[in-house]
Structure 1
Amino acid sequence: MKPASRKSEIITTASQLFKEKGYNAVSMRDIAQTMGIKASSLYNHISGKQEILSTLILKVAREFTTGMQQVVEQDLSAVEKIEKVISFHIDITVTYSDALAALNNDWMHLADEELQQFITMRDDYEENVRKIIKKGIDKGEIEPRHPEVILFSILSTLRTLYLWYEKRGKLDENILKKDMVAVLLKGIVK
């Protein structure tokens, strides 16, 4: 297995610190201290906190965008598409748990161009889920509830999954996928 580059080590360390303390509370000196190196040597590999933040957030946002594009392109029912969205969201949560904290909590600190890229990807993502929900309602696959309530219920649960997942001892992904799909799509009432 190839060892991680120094830049990726810096990003990983910063990601963990951002999750623990928040972007504003972490300095380059904190990152260096956690890594056991001098702060000045960080700048040999990265321009600063802004580059770290944009790398973290945009990488995860692109993962969501790619996952959504794959779902949208498939010839599936609305319910099957929502199941796929839930499933790839769980995969991203498991893979990028620390980075999701920055994506959810610190995105507003991105520089102008990166901020616009992120907002566009997030808005497109939500619009795709909205369209899937509306199509499902129109075809009678989904109960005729307000699409925004359904959208909010699903996405707010998925967006905060990284917090819950770590506290619960990292459940088996397959069980998590099966049960989350069941609860979010079918509810809990027999």
Structure 2
Amino acid sequence: MKIIDRKTEIVNVAAKLFKEKGYSAVTMRDIAQAMDIKAASLYNHIKSKQEILVLIVIEIAEEFTSVMQDIVTSDTSTIQKIERVIQLHIDITLRNSDALACLNNDWMHLTDSELSYYIKMRNDYEQNFRSIIKEGIRNAEIQDVNVEVIIFSTLSTLRTLYLWYDKTKSLNEKILREDMAKVLLKGIV
């Protein structure tokens, strides 16, 4: 049995509630009620709902950014790099779809420096993916089609994978990993 600290438990419960109701609709009282504790007890571990949002969004964004940087600088083919990006999204979806939903749906509620930091990470991530795609086109590893269409098609699918996968949890994880990469890399024709 995995033992987690109270702050982590609060963040996990909040992420689930944010996914279900949206950040704006959830109160600290809702989080406390879901944990079966008094709202005042939350403040022994967490300063505010905003702190919870920062912990959720920034942690996952930093993971995406760090792994993407490793992918970009790796000495592998474009196809292998894209496969690693796909697997990164699948891994995070399988591990923590609640937090991923929060990242995708509630990031705009970050404030000040955290919002700027998140936007920079997101832009850098997309730019790194763009550079992988351009390199693949230059090296004739992937089709010479519009880079932005490739980026939109791939990232919009991967970023919303949690929505679809939650409905199909009976799908074998191995099949998800293999078939998602096949479809995104080779299409269906």
TM-score norm. by structure 2 comes to 0.97
- 1:123 deviates by 0.4
Alignment of structure 1 residues 29-108 onto 2, 5 Å = 29-108=29-108
Query: How many percent identity over aligned positions?
Result: 62
1:91-129, Cα deviation, whole Å (9 max, x unpaired): 011112000111001101001111011111100000010
Aligned residues: CA RMSD: 1.0
Matched, 1:160 2:160: yes
1:5-51, Cα deviation, whole Å (9 max, x unpaired): 11111111100000000000000000001111100110010001000
SS of the counterpart of 2:117?
helix
SS of the counterpart of 1:46?
coil
Write the letter of the residue equivalent to 2:105. N
The aligned counterpart of 2:112 is 112
User: Quick one: distance in 2 between partners of 1:145 and 1:2?
Assistant: 47
User: Quick one: distance in 1 between partners of 2:173 and 2:25?
Assistant: 32
CA shift in 2, pair 1:120/1:81, >3 Å: same
- 1:174 deviates by 2.1
The number of residues matched between the two structures is 189
SS of the counterpart of 1:85?
helix
The aligned counterpart of 1:175 is 175
Point out 4+ residue stretches in structure 1 off by more than 4 angstroms: none
Unmatched segments (≥5 aa) in structure 1: none
CA shift in 2, pair 1:90/1:2, >3 Å: closer
